[in-house]
Amino acid sequence: MAPILIVGSGPAGMSAAIALARRGVRPVVVSDAPHAGGQGFRRLNPQMALDARRIYGAEARKYEALHRDFEAILPQIDYRPATLVWAIYEGKAFILRDGQAGEIAWSGLILAPGATDRIMPVAGWTRPGVFSLGAAQIALKDQGAFIGRKVVFAGSSPLLLLAALQYRTHGARDIAVLDTTPLGAKLRAAPGLRHSPGTALRGLRLMRALKRLGVPVHQGVRLEAIEGADRVSAIRFTAPSGQECRIACDAVALGHGLRAETQLAELADCDFAFDAALRQWLPVADADGRAGERLYLAGDGACIGGADAAIAGGALSAEALLAELGEPGPSARRRRLRGTVARLRRFQRGLAGAFRWPHEEAGRLADTVTVCRCEMVTAGEIRTAVRADLGPAEVNRVKAVTRCGMGRCQGRFCGPALAEITAEASQSPIDAVGRLRAQAPVKPLPLSAADTRS
Amino acid sequence: MTARTTGTLIVGGGLIGAFTAWFLARAGRSVTVLEKGLVGAQSSGANFGNLRLQGRDPRQYPLSLRAQAIWEEIEALTGESCEYDRTGHLYLARDEEELASLHRYAEISRSAGLVVEDLDGPALAARFPYLDRGILAATFSKRDATANPRLATLMVMRAARAHGAGVLEHCEVVAAGHSGAAFEVETRSHGLFRSEHLVNAAGAWGGEIAAQFAEEVPLFSAGPPQFVTEPLPHVIAPSMQRVSGTVIFRQIPRGNVIVAGYPRTASDAQNLRTRVPPHKTLDGMAGLGLLAPMLRTAHVIRVWSGVEGYLPDMIPIIGPSGTQDGLFHGFGCCGHGFQIAPGVGAVLADLIATGRTDTPVEAFHIARYREGVQANEKFAREFDSR
Ligand SMILES: Cc1cc2nc3c(=O)[nH]c(=O)nc-3n(C[C@H](O)[C@H](O)[C@H](O)COP(=O)(O)OP(=O)(O)OC[C@H]3O[C@@H](n4cnc5c(N)ncnc54)[C@H](O)[C@@H]3O)c2cc1C
Ligand SMILES: Cc1cc2nc3c(=O)[nH]c(=O)nc-3n(C[C@H](O)[C@H](O)[C@H](O)COP(=O)(O)OP(=O)(O)OC[C@H]3O[C@@H](n4cnc5c(N)ncnc54)[C@H](O)[C@@H]3O)c2cc1C
């Protein structure tokens, strides 16, 4: 029989693999990352003396346990790192490994492809020296490097504080945090955070630690522009008081929360629904993560939920899949995991209020600001297309006319902003402008891969 | 709700509907287009963009050449760009079978008045040094062109609107009939419409409209697999294809190489879309690498297809209905409707205005299915069960 296939080796995929291995099942685990750990528990470069406790803080033990458990099951799984799943079609995953195309058939599929940063463009955001928040963390965890000497962490995300603290504890003194969510919104969101007091507390601890270490955290600012000639030299913002401020810097880490990676789920035929709290389209799955026949979604790719939800969700999907295949485990375990995932996702939705996606900024973006980096499409071009006679108020049609989202990244970065600008320019609700359709390949595929087909 | 009345109702806001509306409106006639989704979002917006004259069905040349003449002036007439580009078209033969087709197509094309240049191996290598030396011969037609399908239908429909045509989007026709006095067309969301003439320009869905008037046709929907590479330096000027149709490619000024190829894939049950089987993408990639080795390092960034209406004899249905006066068909374009659309629009407008047209279209009459038609030889080759 074909194996169970897990796509992704972040916390969700690792945890699913561990759960299956412990039940004596040998899954195939593929991930385009060269090392397991995903984003949240990214494997620290073992060649550098990076201290997990300094990077992961209170999470370090969890990080170590997950990696230890995963290493322990390696002999019991078929683990294929650095392997991209570029398409899913009729019960098969189409992969690319070492430049060669191949196929994997499955008897059950667990998709755990995680998330990427969500970015709201701001004038100057395409300047060299601007990184996504995730990239700023990857530089540290992979290369033991900072993205600059004076880094400003800007946007709206719990990871903003986390990344800033990680930089600070590694010696970065000249840093600042610009949080675009107003304090009032944070307070209003507080009741929603009761679903995970532990995590909420962690957030407060981050805040306090940054304060103690003297890192300026500006709340409720409005980002105006990232300035510079050849590269970043300053970031300009408006304080809640209305005062215009500028911070000199040579790098900016920009992020406004996360965007679920949902292309594979779409290629696997999942239905989608608009999640108003997270303000994005997500694949529809039941409480176990079941999204179709022998098809499960876990982790951030199912719903932004953070590392704990990913770990619980991965194990849950494995248990549920085994049950569907006729090998149910203890139902109490499944119930408990289900409860954990549901609670953490509720929490995450609360968090989305505390770290707002500043969607209204799309309307304020100057016409000249680039929205699509791959195809160099500006906000003004999108608006012109939408407002033209017979202009489309649907993102795929806006893409067709303007090329926004048509480039190498297939709208991963510009997609959220494209939807907001389209909604604003057409005076439509955000869930009425649709979502960019996913098409294979999920990531670019070299032509030469085809003649090495095995 | 009271019925709205218009001279001509057009079902379908694809390129056929758009050109028909444009010709009618330009002649000062009242016309309304009903489109179930968005204008130009189906085949007309998803196709490859070839305005190919070489190698057409011999019966189609008068229509095709009339269409090309309109393409050649459409941007000047509308004042908008749809990236119309007289790129020329190169047919490539890589084996003996293709060589035979190459000569046969060239002969047909020439007899229709087309200027077709023969290129042998050395001539090809001199003119298109990036092509593989294994290509035996080619024919080049310089009047062939390309345009951007994502822009063309919107451009023509806007021009029709500027001349007074009505265009309703998200307006699906659910029933159509004739009361004896007028056509009565019922929509899902906009109530009832009445008209003197009715045009069926519903593309792959045209069979459903025809069936309302007791005209059954063996229409089915499918689409060729397509993909596009990342942008690369712009060096490939003409649109190119293997005569067999297994690889068709062109490079747009932005630098991306767009690729299509047969066999086509049947659309899924609800006819909402045509998937691209990954193995067909890989076949196309390998096939492209074989023709243009320099592209082997390029990356494919997106695949897509479309929902096109095909008929077993591989020619469209164009002309008056066989059962209902005042009804005109223009659908089922079998994969080559982008090129002929202006011609089809012009012919349908002729028929509506004067009851006749100088462009021979009898071969495309819907009544041919009463007798049952022979499947085209391309039919078996260009489709598969997957
Ligand atoms: C940039 C970034 C930084 C983050 N930093 C932290 C942090 O420091 N601490 C924290 O607690 N949380 C962090 N998070 C939150 C994070 O969402 C969760 O902690 C957790 O990592 C989610 O786990 P996951 O397994 O769902 O996804 P991920 O950890 O994102 O893992 C997804 C995996 O799937 C693989 N994959 C994706 N698509 C494909 C494909 N098509 N083919 C093959 N493989 C594929 C990826 O390579 C990756 O290995 C971060 C998130 C992001 C996006
Ligand atoms: C992938 C692909 C590549 C192609 N490449 C080429 C090429 O290179 N060159 C070429 O010449 N041709 C090509 N073609 C063919 C060409 O695209 C079509 O023949 C042409 O676009 C047909 O136009 P149309 O207006 O008939 O159809 P469509 O564009 O499909 O328009 C029909 C419209 O009718 C609407 N409709 C249907 N039913 C109803 C209803 N009940 N009520 C209201 N509206 C309705 C539909 O929504 C649709 O918008 C290609 C086709 C595909 C799919």
pTM (2 d.p.): 0.96
Inspect the interface and report whether the beta carbons of B301 and A101 lie closer than 8 Å: no
Examine residue B263 and say whether the peptide bond preceding it is cis (omega within 30 degrees of 0): yes
Protein residue with least CA distance to atom 53, ligand 1: A116
Q: How far apart are CA A336 and CA A322, in angstroms?
A: 16
Contacts of A214 (CB under 8 A, 6+ apart): none
Letter for the amino acid at A328?
P
The verdict on the CB of residue A162 being under 6 Å from ligand 1 is yes
Rg of chain A taking only CA atoms, in angstroms: 22
CB < 8 Å to B161, chain A: 389-390
Cβ-nearest to A447 among B38, B276, B285:
B285
Scan residues 273-332 of B and list those with Cβ closer than 8 Å to A: 275-278, 281-286, 288-289, 295-304
User: Considering the domain B4-67+149-218+311-374 in this protein, what is its CATH number?
Assistant: 3.50.50.60
Q: Is B178 in the pocket of ligand 2 (CB under 6 A)?
A: no
Q: How confident is the model at residue B386 (pLDDT cuts 50, 70, 90)?
A: low
pLDDT per residue as tens digits for the range B154-187:
999 999 999 999 999 999 999 999 999 999 999 9
Which one of B279, B291, B296 makes the best mutation probe of the A interface by having the most chain A beta carbons within 10 Å? B279
**Residue of A372, A384, A390, A436 for testing the chain B interface, max B β-carbons within 10 Å:** A390
- pLDDT given at position A454: 47
SS3 of residue A246 by DSSP: strand
User: Residue B323's closest CA among B178, B152, B108, B166?
Assistant: B178
Mean pLDDT of A360-377: 96
Flag whether residue A403 sits within 8 Å of chain B, measured between CB atoms. yes
Closest residue to A450, CB basis, from B150, B229, B286: B286
Q: For chain B, give me the number of helices (H) and strands (E)?
A: 11, 21
Q: Is the CB of residue A378 below 6 angstroms from any atom belonging to ligand 1?
A: no
- How near does any CA of chain B get to the CA of A417, in Å? 21
- d(C-alpha A449, C-alpha B34), whole Å: 45
**Which of B41, B231, B281 lies closest to A397 in CB terms?**
B41
Does residue A306's CB lie within 6 angstroms of at least one atom of ligand 1? yes
- In chain A, the largest separation of any two C-alpha atoms, in whole Å, equals 66
What was the pLDDT predicted at B271?
Answer: 65
Cα Rg of chain B (Å, integer) = 21
- CB of A16 sitting under 6 A from ligand 1: no
Which amino acid appears at position A12 of this protein? A
Residue in A401, A406, A447 nearest the CB of B295:
A447
Please report, for chain B, the start and end positions of each structural domain, with discontinuous segments joined by +. 4-67+149-218+311-374, 89-142+225-305
For residue A447, list chain B residues with Cβ-Cβ distance below 8 A.
Answer: 229, 285, 288-289, 295-300
Sequential DSSP letters for B78-109: HS-----B---EEEEE-SHHHHHHHHHHHHHH
Give the per-residue pLDDT at B371. Answer: 82
Q: Structure tokens of A123?
A: 């004038």
| Ligand 1 close to Cβ of residue A134 (< 6 A) | yes
C-beta of A9 in contact with ligand 1 (< 6 A): yes
B38: Cβ contacts below 8 Å, ≥ 6 apart:
A392, A394, A397, B13, B169, B170
Residues A382 and A421: beta-carbon distance below 8 Å: yes
CB-based contact (8 Å) between A408 and chain B? yes
Chain B nearest CA to A259, separation (Å): 20
- CA closest to B152 among chain A residues: A401
Chain A: give the shortest CA distance to residue B303, in Å. 6
Whether pLDDT at A196 is above 90: no
Å between B214 CA and nearest CA of chain A: 34
Sequence-distant (≥ 6) Cβ neighbours of residue B256 within 8 angstroms: B228, B229, B230, B231, B232, B301
Is residue B267 lining ligand 2, measured as CB closer than 6 Å? no
Q: Residue A266: nearest ligand to its CA? A: 1
- Between CA B155 and CA B13 the distance in angstroms is 12
- Give chain B positions within 8 Å (CB) of A392: 38
- B85: CA distance to ligand 2 center in Å? 21
Q: Testing the interface with A: which of B290, B294, B299 to mutate, by most A Cβ within 10 A?
A: B299
Please tell me the distance between residue A348's alpha carbon and the centre of ligand 2 in angstroms: 44
Residue A452 pLDDT class (50, 70, 90 cuts) = low
Q: How far apart are the first and last CA of chain A?
A: 20
Pick the residue of B232, B300, B303 with the most A CBs within 10 A to test the interface with A by mutation: B300
- When pLDDT is averaged across residues B223-246 and rounded to a whole number, the result is 97
Taking the C-alpha atoms of B184, B190, B191 and B196 in order, what is their torsion angle to the nearest 10 degrees?
Answer: -20
- Under an 8 A CB cutoff, do B278 and A89 touch? yes
- Confidence bin at A270 (pLDDT 50/70/90): very high
Reported confidence tier of residue B58, pLDDT bands at 50, 70, 90: very high
Q: Provide the pLDDT for residue A453.
A: 60
How far is the centre of ligand 1, averaged over its atoms, from the C-alpha of A39 (Å)?
4
- pLDDT tens string A276-298: 999 999 999 999 999 999 999 99
What is the token pair recorded at A157?
């995300």
CB distance B254–A403 less than 8 Å?
yes
Where would I find the H helices in chain B?
Answer: 15-26, 43-46, 61-78, 96-111, 121-127, 149-162, 206-211, 278-291, 337-354, 368-371, 377-382
DSSP B383: B
CA B205 to ligand 2 center in whole angstroms: 9
Confirm if B212 and B176 have CB atoms less than 8 A apart.
yes
Mean pLDDT along residues B336-342: 98
User: Which of A87, A392, A407 faces B38 most closely, judged by CB atoms?
Assistant: A392
**Which chain A positions have a beta carbon within 8 Å of B285's beta carbon?**
445, 447, 449-450
Of A9-18, B30-39, B126-135, B370-379, the range with the lowest mean pLDDT is: B370-379
CA quadruple A56, A58, A62, A68: dihedral sign: positive
The residues near A398 (Cβ < 8 Å, ≥ 6 apart) are A382, A385, A386, A392, A404, A418, A422
Q: Report the residue among B47, B167, B208 best suited for mutation to probe ligand 2: largest number of ligand atoms under 8 A from its CB.
A: B47
C-alpha to C-alpha distances, A89 to A99, B279, B281, nearest whole angstrom? 20, 9, 12
Q: Is the pLDDT of residue B65 over 80?
A: yes
Instruction: Give the distance from CA B29 to its chain's centroid.
Output: 25
Minimum CA–CA partner of B259 in chain A: A447
Is A7's pLDDT higher than 80?
Answer: yes
User: 3-state class of A139 per DSSP?
Assistant: helix
Q: Which tops the pLDDT comparison, B210 or B372? A: B210
Instruction: Count residue pairs from A and B with Cβ separation < 8 A.
Output: 94
Question: What residues of chain A lie within 8 A of the CB of B247, using their CB?
Answer: none
Please give the distance, rounded to the nearest whole angstrom, from the Cα atom of residue B359 to the centre of ligand 1: 61
Other CB atoms within 10 Å distance of the CB of residue A73? 19
Pairing type for strands A100-105 and A222-227 reads unpaired
CA atoms within 13 A on the CB side of B207: 15
Q: Are A439 and B288 within 8 A, CB to CB?
A: no
Residue of A nearest to B162 (CA): A389
Q: Is the peptide bond before A441 cis (omega within 30 degrees of 0)?
A: yes
Residue range B89-142+225-305 forms a domain whose CATH class is: alpha beta
**Cα(A451)–Cα(B282) distance, rounded to whole angstroms?**
8
Going by pLDDT thresholds of 50, 70 and 90, the confidence category of residue A261 is: very high
B144 contacts B53 by C-beta, under 8 angstroms: yes
Stretch among A91-95, A185-189, B65-69, B302-306 having the lowest mean pLDDT: A185-189
Amino acid at A317: S
User: In this predicted model, what pLDDT tens digit does every residue of A212-235 receive, in sequence order?
Assistant: 999 999 999 999 999 999 999 999
Q: What is the distance between the alpha carbons of residues B92 and B99, in angstroms, rounded to a whole number?
A: 8
| Residue A410 near ligand 1, beta carbon < 6 Å | no
* Distance of CA B321 from the midpoint of ligand 2 (Å): 20
Domains assigned to chain A: 4-116+259-352 (3.50.50.60), 121-255 (3.50.50.60), 362-426 (1.10.10.1100)
Residue located via tokens 């997609």:
A415
Interface contact A413, partner B, CB < 8 A: no
pLDDT at A198 over 80: no
Per-residue confidence at B3, pLDDT binned at 50, 70, 90? confident
Supply the residue whose CA is at minimum distance from atom 13 of ligand 1.
A40
pLDDT score of B216 more than 90: yes
Are the C-beta atoms of residues A331 and A145 closer than 8 Å to each other? Answer: no
Tokens of A217: 């955290």
Taking CA atoms only, the protein residue closest to ligand 1 atom 9 is A40
Is residue A310 lining ligand 1, measured as CB closer than 6 Å?
yes
B15, B170, B308: residue to mutate for ligand 2 pocket, most atoms within 8 A of CB: B308
- Euclidean distance between CA atoms A453 and A146, whole angstroms: 40
- The upper half-sphere exposure of residue B336, i.e. CA atoms within 13 Å in the direction of its Cβ, equals 21
